Amino acid sequence: MTQLTLKNIEKSYKNGIKVLKNVSLSIDSGELVVFVGPSGCGKSTLLRMIAGLEHITSGILEIDGQRMNDIPASKRGIAMVFQSYALYPHLTVRDNMSFALKIAKYKQPEIDAAVDKASKALKLDTLLDRLPKELSGGQRQRVAIGRAIVRNPKVFLFDEPLSNLDAALRVKTRIEIARLKESMPERTMIYVTHDQVEAMTLATRIVVLANNTVAQVGTPLDLYNSPENEFVAQFIGSPAMNLLPGTIVKTGKQTTVSLNNECVAVSSVATSSKDMGKQVNVGIRPEHLKLTEEDHIVKAEVEITEALGEYTLLYVKKAMQDENLTAKIPGTHQSLRNQLVKLSADPSNVHLFHNGKIDVGRYFINRKSLKQNLWSL
């Protein structure tokens, strides 16, 4: 059972550039936590700091209650799977997988048993005598994972392990990683990726990094259904959530917002009289918009359609002054190009953001008090 804790972690370089600031996080034993965020947000740097490959400028890293800041990488009980595989080209699969155990001076029977077990789990047992150049990209990645498994580490770290694979192979290898995690339920894994599908399908929890710190932590569905700020709302989900500017004109159990396109949006977010007149952004995911002939949030011309078989993406021209809007409509609707359409959304799928965050009305207060009550249990 392994718990990993980050307390106020910061990373900066001698030139004054601060890469990470005030990162605090607790990862429980058996979790698969995924770090996501835009390029340059510090997610790979944070992973390398956990591994011991980057110095921690300030803050505390603990594994099972033991401070790890000054412990060498080789002594942390951590194994890392790199994006580039990092296999020795002159060694066979067997020798690549056993290399770390030989350096650690394990006995040969122990090495053979560990390699055999890992190779069978990863379906590499028929490839043990091949060199890396004789393997496909997916097979090389499995060897890299196998090399980590044989060490029996406390924590597995994955640094964008699927980014060099083609689309079909990414799906296949992602499923293999999911199976691997199920076969080792007590092992803690931390995974860095740009791919939202990987994050949403693999993660126990997702850590969204932005502006050099943690923007939000939660389960995949928590982040999708209840983003706490506009960045997370638009980063999680593809296509990104639409943000439409407007003004609150009616409060209560439901909130009515007058949009800048002279339409109105109704949200299930409850507000009080003090919220009247606030400038907000109405957030609606493209897949939650639907074509309608009745009350609508948007009435505008479709500029471009992208028919993808199962659904069609509609790019609506100048829906909100200079803002474009995207709708993801089931079925094929290529004939809608250059047509005037009306779009609506269920109030339960309409989010409200004020000053970039969810901080209007009773919705925010209730969520905050709920968290406080849970923490006090």
CA separation for the pair 282, 246 (Å, rounded): 7
Q: 4-232 adopts what CATH topology?
A: Rossmann fold (3.40.50)
Q: Range(s) for CATH 3.40.50.300 in the chain?
A: 4-232
Nearest to 82 by CA among 163, 179, 6: 163
Q: Does residue 247 sit in helix, strand or coil?
A: strand
Q: What is the DSSP letter of 241?
A: P
CA separation for the pair 134, 8 (Å, rounded): 45
- Cα 337 to chain centroid, rounded: 33
pLDDT value at residue 321: 57
pLDDT value at residue 374: 35
Number of residues written out for the chain: 377
Question: CATH assignment of 239-375, given 2.40.50.140, 3.10.129.10, 3.40.50.300, 3.90.45.10?
Answer: 2.40.50.140
Nearest to 344 by CA among 308, 306, 290: 290
Nearest to 316 by CA among 329, 305, 332: 305
The pLDDT tens digits for 265-315 are: 999 999 999 999 999 999 999 999 999 998 899 988 999 999 998 999 999
CA separation for the pair 353, 239 (Å, rounded): 19
pTM over the 0.85 mark: yes
Q: Range(s) for CATH 2.40.50.140 in the chain?
A: 239-375
Residue with tokens 């401070």: 67
Q: First CA to last CA across the chain, in angstroms?
A: 23
pLDDT value at residue 89: 94
Longest CA pairwise span in the chain (Å): 76
Handedness of CA 111, 112, 114, 115 (dihedral sign): positive
Token couple for 245: 């500017």
Residues with pLDDT less than 50, the chain: 362-377
CA separation for the pair 164, 258 (Å, rounded): 46
Token couple for 312: 């069609």
Token couple for 374: 């849970």
DSSP structure string for 80-94 = EE-TT----TTS-HH
The pLDDT tens digits for 112-143 are: 999 999 998 888 999 999 999 999 888 898 89
Bridge partners (DSSP) listed for residue 218: 206
Rounded to whole angstroms, what are the CA distances from 110 to 15, 91, 142, 150? 47, 19, 21, 10
Nearest to 343 by CA among 322, 369, 320, 366: 320
The pLDDT tens digits for 46-55 are: 999 999 999 9
